[in-house]
Amino acid sequence: MAVTACFAYFFAEPICSFEVSREELPYFILFVAFAAITAWFVRALRGSMSNFSLPTRSQSTSPEQARGGGYGRFGFLPIATALCAGANFAADTLTPTDIVFSSLYAVVVLMAARFCSANGIIRVAVGCVVLTILSHYLSPPEGPQYVGIVNTGIGLAVIGLVTLLALRQKKAEASLREHSGEILKLNNELAKRARELETSNTELESFAYSVSHDLRAPLRHVVGFSELLQKQAASSLDEKSRRYLQTILDSAKRMGNLIDDLLAFSRIGRTETRKTLVSLDQLVKEAVAEIGQDARGRDINWTIDPLPACHGDRSMLKLVMVNLVSNAVKFTNMRARAEIEIGCLDRENEVEVFVRDNGAGFDMQYVDKLFGVFQRLHLPEQFEGTGIGLATVRRIIHRHGGEVRAEGNVDQGATFYFSLPKAQLAAERTAKTP
Amino acid sequence: MSELGRILLVEDDPRDVELTLTALADHNLANEVMVARDGEKALDYLYRRGEFSTRSHDNPAVILLDLKLPKVDGLQVLQQIRSEESLKLIPVVVLTSSHEEKDMIRSYKLGVNAYVVKPVDFHEFVNAIKELGFFWALINEPPPGSIKKAP
């Protein structure tokens, strides 16, 4: 729009400067070049103008912006130029035709600024040219030549200024478009990944489902018929055969436990977390009471520090506590007096809960294996278990946005830590997510 | 406890059928068990169709229903039973290998009376079956129109 204004400015006043003679030839060339510059300009400007008020593609646009019109940041330019053109006319030898032309220029420039589109601007430019030529014939040039030269200079200066502004805008616009293109690409990539994940999740779910159904049935038959055989033929079997039979039974039962644990583990990833405010104190009390039932007859010295409340899924966090406490009880079974300590370290944004025991411990060089599925650092004869408890712990804590770690030494006990975001922070975060 | 209700066992796996019948036999409950090997057979029995067209009009005292069945699966059978005026009162116990929450929820939504996961351990399995049979065939008072027989 500003360009249109300059255009009007350029042609409005020194009609004398448009004398098509040999001396005036540079002006004529400028005039022709102008049409081209205008068209290029308008494109650049329109782009940058729409960017001022349309930061994202998806936002709704007002009808005015959608037309590419409106006065925008450069709005003062066409108005000022139109006024200048009028003033110039007035300062010049004022004839009735001059008044008509200056009013026409003002109207044309303002209209162009208001409703401009690339095509519209070209039409306006053509209109200006026609008007200028007409005015040339209607009122032959008079007055000093230098006025025309000065005005042309001013016009060129304005053009230069606007060109610079437009170029800056265009550059900004280009980088914005590049960024939004990149974002769009990344978004598409993300959406694709999400779909893939969903598919693989569904597959995993149906896999776990069929494991749950189809793997258990034959196992039950192995156990069932072995027991029936044991009952039926126990008296006629020799010691060795009875031991074989017992091994079949034990192995089948162990496999049953493995399947159950694996299914429980996979269920953690699939079920939704129902987060509430959870009192860790209460949770530890319940877990210790539960495990303590199985550990009757053992001498265990419990040290339980006060724990804060956390934001999380109660049943899942309880599973974490039960797993860690039962591990502590299990791995201290060779101690005459087991020492188990449960406490917490208060950090800036999180609480870190630990369970410490004086049991078998582990070699720190295998610490990475500790939280893996089916990873065990001890022989099954030493400590029973399926090797899935700590994997479950890690999975649950990760789903809560926390971390797990462990410290230990062989035969000197172990400490397991898990961190959880503080209740207040977690609640705020949940509240913010739509 | 004077009369013995008939049990309809819907189970496709012959080994599971044998184990179940063995467990029920320990309680002298096996005689009144009707076994259907798939969902279609179970519905045939309940609707007195095909080979069952000549049986009496009475309903079983309880249906022990597996979920994973050939042709018509357990949940479909359950749905059919609950939507049929003459069958909807029959107590149905789902007896399945599935621990899955969604199976459980769907079964209860369809109006199952109990949901029992078959224990892997044989003793537990036998005990579960015994207790189920004892409760539903002997202790529970089935709705009117069920098959009962003096033990």
User: Is residue A433 pLDDT above 50, yes or no?
Assistant: no
Does the beta-carbon distance from A217 to B97 stay under 8 Å? yes
Say how far residue A381 (Cα) sits from the centre of its chain.
49
**3-class secondary-structure state, position B136:** helix
Q: Does B13 touch chain A (CB under 8 A)?
A: yes
User: Is residue B100 pLDDT above 60, yes or no?
Assistant: yes
Domains, chain B, ordered by start: 4-140 (3.40.50.2300)
Chain A neighbors of B70, CB-CB under 8 A: none
- The helix-helix angle for B39-47 and B74-83 (nearest 10°) equals 20
So what's the pLDDT on residue B85?
87
Between A157 and A222, the more confident residue is: A222
So what's the pLDDT on residue A71?
41
Between A259 and B82, the more confident residue is: B82
pLDDT, one tens digit per residue, over A155-181 is 555 555 655 666 677 788 888 888 999
User: Is residue B141 pLDDT above 60, yes or no?
Assistant: yes
So what's the pLDDT on residue A40?
54
d(CA A374, CA A258) in angstroms, rounded, equals 9
Between A375 and A299, the more confident residue is: A299
User: Is residue B110 pLDDT above 60, yes or no?
Assistant: yes
Residue whose tokens read 């104190």: A281
User: Is residue A223 pLDDT above 60, yes or no?
Assistant: yes
Q: Indicate the residue of A209, A256, A267 with minimum beta-carbon distance to B120.
A: A256
Domain segments of chain A: what residues? 2-188, 206-269, 273-432
CATH superfamily, domain at A273-432:
Histidine kinase-like ATPase, C-terminal domain (3.30.565.10)
Q: Indicate the residue of A209, A224, A267 with minimum beta-carbon distance to B122.
A: A224
Q: Indicate the residue of B98, B100, B120 with minimum beta-carbon distance to A220.
A: B120
pLDDT, one tens digit per residue, over A329-384 is 888 888 888 888 999 888 877 889 999 998 888 888 888 888 887 777 777 667 77
pLDDT, one tens digit per residue, over A385-408 is 777 888 889 989 988 888 899 998
Min mean pLDDT across A227-231, A267-271, B43-47 is at A267-271
Three-state SS for chain A is CHHHHHHHHHHHCCHHHHCCCCCCHHHHHHHHHHHHHHHHHHHHHHHHHHHHHCCCCCCCCCHHHHCCCCCCCCCHHHHHHHHHHHHHHHHCCCCHHHHHHHHHHHHHHHHHHHHCCHHHHHHHHHHHHHHHHHHHHHCCCCCCHHHHHHHHHHHHHHHHHHHHHHHHHHHHHHHHHHHHHHHHHHHHHHHHHHHHHHHHHHHHHHHHHHHHHHHHHHHHHHHHHHHHHHHHHCCCCCHHHHHHHHHHHHHHHHHHHHHHHHHHHHHHHHCCCCEEEEEHHHHHHHHHHHHHHHCCCCCEEEEECCCCEEEEEHHHHHHHHHHHHHHHHHCCCCCCCEEEEEEEEECCCEEEEEEEECCCCCCHHHHHHCCCCCCCCCCCCCCCCCCCHHHHHHHHHHHCCCCEEEEECCCCCEEEEEEEEEHHHHHHHHHHCC
Residues of A within an 8 Å Cβ radius of B: 209, 212-214, 216-217, 219-221, 223-228, 252-253, 256, 259-260, 263, 267, 271
d(CA B8, CA A427) in angstroms, rounded, equals 52
Does the beta-carbon distance from B15 to A216 stay under 8 Å? no
Does the beta-carbon distance from A253 to B15 stay under 8 Å? no
Between A51 and B77, the more confident residue is: B77
Does the beta-carbon distance from A271 to B122 stay under 8 Å? no
> Which residue, among B18, B67, B121, would best test binding to A if mutated, counting the most A CBs under 10 Å from its CB?
B121
So what's the pLDDT on residue A57?
40
Asked if the ipTM is above 0.90, the reply is no
Does the beta-carbon distance from B125 to A220 stay under 8 Å? yes
So what's the pLDDT on residue A187?
93
Min mean pLDDT across A55-69, A217-231, A372-386 is at A55-69
So what's the pLDDT on residue A194?
93
Q: How far is A216 from chain B (nearest CA, A)?
A: 7
Q: How confident is the model at residue A422 (pLDDT cuts 50, 70, 90)?
A: confident
Q: Does B19 touch chain A (CB under 8 A)?
A: yes
So what's the pLDDT on residue A262?
79
Average pLDDT over residues A136-162: 53
Q: Which residue of B has its CA nearest to A214?
A: B97
User: Is residue A184 pLDDT above 70, yes or no?
Assistant: yes
Chain A neighbors of B123, CB-CB under 8 A: 227
Average pLDDT score, chain A: 71
Q: Which residue of A has its CA nearest to B97?
A: A213
Q: Which residue of A has its CA nearest to B19?
A: A224
pLDDT, one tens digit per residue, over A273-287 is 788 888 888 888 888
